Homo-oligomer: A and B are copies of this chain.
Amino acid sequence: MNGIHNLSAGCPEFPAVLERVFGFAASVQQYMEAGLAAHGLSRARATVVWLVHRGGPQTQRALAKAIGVTARNITALVDGLEESGFVRRTAHPDDRRALLVQLTDQGKAVTAGLAAEYERHSAYLFAGLSEEQVRQFVATMDTVMGRLAQVATATADR
């Protein structure tokens, strides 16, 4: 406002913004987990279900790689999902070591239910915002996410 602009940044009061981003992320995750819990799913298990829903029957190894956790962890998650009836393990047609994880009818029902619920909620969460505002919001999220990845690799290489 005083005519002097910070070239390297573009906006003052960044730390406060990052703190709010942290709070926002926490709220979103809390909301998400509450919704999943109502359907008998935890965040970790829901991630598995969602990946199988998206990508079709997959080996546990593929799921481990996609989620970024150890294979052993997937075994435990699929154990739980199988016990509660969301997924089923089947023999891999070509590889006798591997197992294919696929959704049961109950698993398909819950993904459909969740998708419908999130669609309904989405309409409410962003109601009143213009198309342009939502577009901008998504764009900024993408920008920040990209930079986060860069910061992560930069600190990992150090």
Contacts and interface: CB of A to CB of B under 8 A. Distances in A.
Interface string A101-143: 0000000000000010011011111111111011111101111
Contacts of A119: 14-15, 18
A4 interface: no
When all copies of this chain in the complex are counted, the total is: 2
A122 B8 CA distance: 12
Interface string A20-54: 11111111111110110010000000000000000
Sort chain A's interface into a size bin: 35 or more
A76 interface: no
Nearest to A134: B11
A100 to B, nearest CB: 25
